[in-house]
Amino acid sequence: MNKYFEEALAMQPELVARRRDIHKHPETGFTEFRTASMIIKELQALGYEVSYGDDCVVESEMFGVPGQAVLENHMQRAIAEGADPELVAKMAGGKTGVMGVMHFAKPGKTVAFRYDMDCNDVVECSEEHHRPFAEGFASTHKGEMHACGHDGHVTIGLATAKLIAVHKDEMAGTVKIIFQPAEEGVRGARAMAMKGLVDDVDFMFGGHLGFKATLDNILICACGGLLATTKLDAHFTGVSAHAGAAPEEGKNALLAAAQAAVSLHSISRHGQGASRINVGVLNAGTGRNVLPNVADMKLETRGANTQINDFMSSEANRMLKAAADLYNVEVKITPAGSAPACVTEVDFGQEIAEIAKAAFEYDDVIDTMDFGGSEDCSYFMETVQLKGGHAAYMCYGTQIAAGHHNDHFDFNEEVLWKAAAMCATLAEVYTNK
């Protein structure tokens, strides 16, 4: 157990308290006003240069920002629950991303860490066997819940920041600690990456607790197979008509959407690798005896690499339009999220594994493992990799009480100190590379 692990273990009571405070006050994507406000204050207190609001995001690249009323409502709530009104004001419009930067005396490399802050649209379980409920730190925001562990991620991020600040003399170059909104739906990373936050980064680390690492005291160093993905909303508009008297006067949005759903799933497989299509939600029509004039669809495509996903999303776009033409209705297609694939760096994973084994006695340290999902951390990773840097997406081992996004989700908080210590270890190693 190296010094970071020892010190992080000593911080554990405060980490648990912070995680539980965040868990109790979850905030969905682009409304993380309270969470971000707290992060800003903490990073400033630790001596970081902190940027946020317009300085952290290209507004036009944010996907699926809630409406003005929702944003204002959540800003008020955040202030009522302790957020700094001035900071909140600067994050108006959902610009809740935060970055803390610290330059060190010794010249060295630039190393970045990324943590996500948003919660899920889930009503938290209120049964006695659910620890957050039993121990009084369940969500106080009905319909919002940290069911994916991002409360833990924020906690780990701030603990990492603290360990690095404390050990600033052992660090070199620059460390950047990024807190991203709206990872759910892969909506928030693109707008931060395009602001150029990681353009100068040499080593980039993202990560998740649990997921592929659902045993305590293990570590996966470099997850592969983050699928590229595109999320789309399609809104079909036709003309309603009396289904008995004059159906020929209608333009049937339900049939257009239904046809689109079936056809979308018939997009050709791709000879170069895995592809995916899912029409996850379809709501259409207003009444049984009315020829339906509206339909709404939520869909996503994925691909083993960005090219395959581009093939899928391009096919999907054309098909949605053609299906609308088929029934003479209009369709409006709105991008609702996206993430590129990213290359798994096997060598980098092995290198991290060596560092991990030297730093702490894990039960198991796995170089690389297939992730099998999508995560918009890949926007940061791809940016760094394309400029010649290295990037890895880690999984911090922890038992979980139920699957991610489940209303019974909870995790073993022991992961908090270990993950923070591992991140700080990597900061020291890689800034000094």
Q: Rule CB under 8 A: say whether 317 interacts with its own copies.
A: no
Least distance in angstroms from the C-beta of 285 to its own copies: 4
Contact flag: residue 333 with its own copies (CB under 8 A):
no
Among 70, 243, 333, 343, binds its own copies (CB under 8 A): 243
Q: Which of 38, 193, 284, 423 binds its own copies (CB under 8 A)?
A: 284
> What is the contact mask toward its own copies in residues 355 to 374, using x (rule: CB under 8 A)?
-----------------xxx
Stretch that binds its own copies, among 29-37, 262-270, 351-359, 416-424 (CB under 8 A): 262-270
The rounded distance, in Å, linking the Cα atoms of 338 and 120 is 18
Residue from 1, 89, 215, 290 in contact with its own copies (CB under 8 A): 290
Q: Give the alpha-carbon dihedral of 259, 264, 265, 266, to 10 degrees.
A: 90
Stretch that binds its own copies, among 65-73, 140-148, 170-178, 281-289 (CB under 8 A): 281-289
Please select the residue that binds its own copies; options are 239, 282, 343, 402, rule is CB under 8 A: 282
The strand ranges marked E within 226-341 are 228-237, 241-242, 275-284, 290-291, 294-303, 330-339
State in angstroms the smallest separation of the CB of 149 from its own copies: 17
Q: Is 255 in the site for its own copies (CB under 8 A)?
A: yes
Per-residue mark of binding to its own copies, 76-115 (x: CB under 8 A):
----------------------------------------
147 binds its own copies (CB under 8 A): no
Q: What are phi and psi of 236, to 5 degrees?
A: -100, 135
Residue (297 or 391) nearer to its own copies, CB: 297
End-to-end CA distance of the chain: 21
Residue 302 binding its own copies, by CB under 8 A: yes
Burial of 139 (0-12, 13-18, 19+ CB in 10 A): buried
Site string for its own copies, 217-236 (x = CB under 8 A): ----------x-x-x-----
User: Is 331:264 a contact under the CB 8 Å cutoff?
Assistant: no
Count how many residues are written for the chain. 433
Question: What single letter denotes the amino acid at residue 287?
Answer: G
DSSP line for 305-335: SHHHHHHHHHHHHHHHHHHHHHTT-EEEEEE
Report the residue number, 375 or 382, with the smaller CB distance to its own copies: 375
Task: Report the residue number, 49 or 249, with the smaller CB distance to its own copies.
Answer: 249
Applying the rule CB under 8 A, the residues between 44 and 63 that interact with its own copies are: none
The answer to whether 311 contacts its own copies (rule: CB under 8 A) is yes
When binding is defined by CB under 8 A, the residue of 67, 271, 361, 388 that contacts its own copies is 271
When the beta carbons of 177 and 295 are compared against its own copies, the nearer one is: 295
Distance CA 158, CA 162 (A): 6
Q: 3-state class of 35 per DSSP?
A: helix
Q: By three-state DSSP, how is residue 222 classified?
A: strand
Q: How far apart are CA 72 and CA 169, in angstroms?
A: 42
Q: How many residues bind its own copies (CB under 8 A)?
A: 67
CB neighbour burial string for 224-257, b if at least 16 within 10 angstroms, e if fewer: bbbbbbbbbbbebebebbeeeeeeeebbbbbbbb
Alpha-carbon span 186 to 336, nearest angstrom: 8
Residue from the set 259, 317, 385, 406 that interacts with its own copies by CB under 8 A: 259
Among 111, 178, 198, 323, contact with its own copies (rule: CB under 8 A): 323
Contact 301, 312 (CB under 8 A): yes
> Which residues of this chain interact with its own copies, rule CB under 8 A?
185, 227, 229, 231, 242-250, 252, 254-255, 257-259, 261-263, 265-266, 268-272, 274-292, 295, 298-300, 302, 311, 315, 318-319, 321-323, 325-326, 328, 336, 372-374
